Structure 1
Amino acid sequence: MGKSVQALVAFGANLPFEGESPAQTILAASKALAAEGLSVLAFSPLYATPCFPAGAGPDYVNAAAVLEVDAQVDATSILQRLHRVEAHFGRIREQRWGMRTLDIDLVALGDSVLPDAAVQDAWRMLPPGAQAKATPDRLILPHPRLQDRAFVLVPLADVAPDWVHPRLGLTVRQMLAALPAADRDAVKPL
C-alpha cells in the first residue's frame, strides 16, 4: 500500500444473525473487513448501550475501529465496502435507526470534510426533531451526529482519543467529556 489514511468506523448490532449474538457478529465483521481491503489498526472493547431511540428494540452492542485505507480510495468506495460487509451479516436497510444485525458507520476519514464545510455544518446543526425525519442524499463526513452520541464516542475514545473533528476543533476525548454524564454512563463495557 502506498500512502494511507485512517478511517474511523463505528459498529452496532442488536439482533442475532444465524445463531450468533450481536457481539459475535461485530467481532466476525471486524475480521471480514480485511477481505474488502480495509486493514484494522485498532479495535475497541465491546460495549452494551441502550437502544436509540429509546424503546425501539433490544439494547445494542457497540464498538469502534481505526482502519488503514489507501489514500487513493475515496470515501464512497469505503462506504460501499462497509455496506458489503453489513450485507454479508444480514443487514437489511428497512428503517432508519431501526433494529439491525449489523451497522458499520464510516464516521470520519482523516480530516476530510464531505461534501463540503457548509453541508457538513448544516447537517450537524440540524435540530433534534428534524434529525429523525431528514436523511442525507449523500455521504456527510465527519458523521453529523458523531459529537452527540456516547455509543460512538465511548468506544472511539479507546482507539482514537486524540482524533480532532475538523469542523469543531475538538478531540474525541473532548467531545465525549462534553456529553451529559448520564449518556456516558449508559454505555457499559461488556
Structure 2
Amino acid sequence: MLLIALGANLPFADAPLAQTLHSAVEMLRQAGLSDLRLSPLYATPCFPPGAGPDYVNAAAAAPIPPGWDAARTLALLHRVEAEFGRTRETRWGMRTLDLDLIAFGATVAPDPATFAAWHDLDPARQRVETPDRLILPHPRMQDRAFVLVPLHDVAPDWVHPVSGQTVAAMLAAVPAADRAEVRPLSPDSALVKPV
C-alpha cells in the first residue's frame, strides 16, 4: 500500500481548497491510482505556526499498481502539484497543493542509515535542511497529527517498516492537544470556499 498526505492553504484559480484536493485525487486516479481512497477533509493550523493561512489536509491510500516504484509515484505527485500551481521556493512555505509520499509499502529508502539520519535530525536543523532524495517512510510522519489523523481514516493498520508501529499506535502517541487541532472540515467552513 502507498500512503499520500495531501494539503493546501492557498487557493488555486479561485477554487476552494477542498475542491483542489478532490481534483488532485481525481487526477491521481486517472493516472493509474484507480483504487485510491481519500480520507475526510480536515482543517489544520498552518505548520510551522504563523507561517500562513490554515490548511485543508487529507490522506489517501492505494494498493501499489503493478510495475510502479516510489520514484514513479513521486514523479506523478510532483506533476499533479505543478498542475495546481505548486512552486518550491520556501521550506514549509504556503502552497496551493502539497502531495507528500508518506510510505510506499514496506520500503525504507534510500537505505536504513539515511532514513535514521533524517528521522533523528535535530528539530532546529529540520527547519533549514532538505533531503536531496526521497526518504521513506516520511521521517516526520510519527510527529504530525495533521498527517496521522487523516491517515488513520484510510490505513489505521499500516505498519511502519522501521518502528513496527501501526498508524493507530503512532496517532495514540501524539499529544492530545496536537490531535485536537486537526478538526473535521464542515461544509460551511471558509476553507471550503474561495478566500
Fold match by TM threshold 0.5: yes
1:1-190 maps to which residues of 2 (within 5 A)? 6-190=1-185
1:60 maps to amino acid: Y
Distance, in Å, in 2 between the alignment partners of 1:40 and 1:47 is 21
Q: Secondary structure at the match of 2:23?
A: helix
Q: Secondary structure at the match of 2:20?
A: helix
Secondary structure in 2 matching 1:39: coil
AA in 2 matched with 1:76: A
Give per-residue Cα distances to partners, 1:41-62, cap 9 Å, x unaligned: 3210000000000000000000
Partner residue, 1:3: none
Distance in 2 (CA, whole Å) between partners of 1:179 and 1:60 is 19
Contact kept in structure 1, 2:91 and 2:128, CA below 8 Å: no
SS at match of 1:118: helix
| CA shift in 2, pair 1:106/1:30, >3 Å | same
Cα deviation, residue 22, structure 1: 1.1
Structure 2 CA distance for aligned equivalents of residues 40 and 14 of structure 1 = 26
* Aligned-partner Cα distance in 2 for 1:48–1:26: 13
> Which residue of the partner structure matches residue 191 of structure 2?
none
Q: Identity of counterpart residues, as a percentage?
A: 64
**Structure 2 CA distance, aligned partners of 1:107 and 1:85?**
16
Residues 94-122 of structure 1: CA deviation (Å, up to 9, x unaligned): 11100000000000001110011111111
**2:88 aligned counterpart, secondary structure:** coil
Q: Distance in 2 between matches of 1:173 and 1:69?
A: 21
Identify the structure with the greater strand proportion.
1
For residues 141-160 of structure 1, what are the alpha-carbon distances to aligned partners after superposition, in whole Å with 9 as ceiling and x for unaligned?
Answer: 00011000000000000000
TM-score normalised by the chain length of structure 2? 0.92
Aligned-residue offset at 1:90: 1.1
2:30 aligned counterpart, secondary structure: helix
SS of the residue 2:63 aligns to: strand
Query: CA deviation digits over 1:11-42, x for unaligned, max 9?
Result: 00000011101111001111110232222432
Letter in 2 for 1:158: D
Letter in structure 1 aligned against 2:74: L
Question: For residue 81 of structure 2, what is the amino acid of its counterpart?
Answer: E
| CA–CA separation in structure 1 for the residues paired with 2:29 and 2:22 | 13
Letter aligned with residue 148 of structure 2: L
Q: Separation in 2 of the partners of 1:14 and 1:110?
A: 28
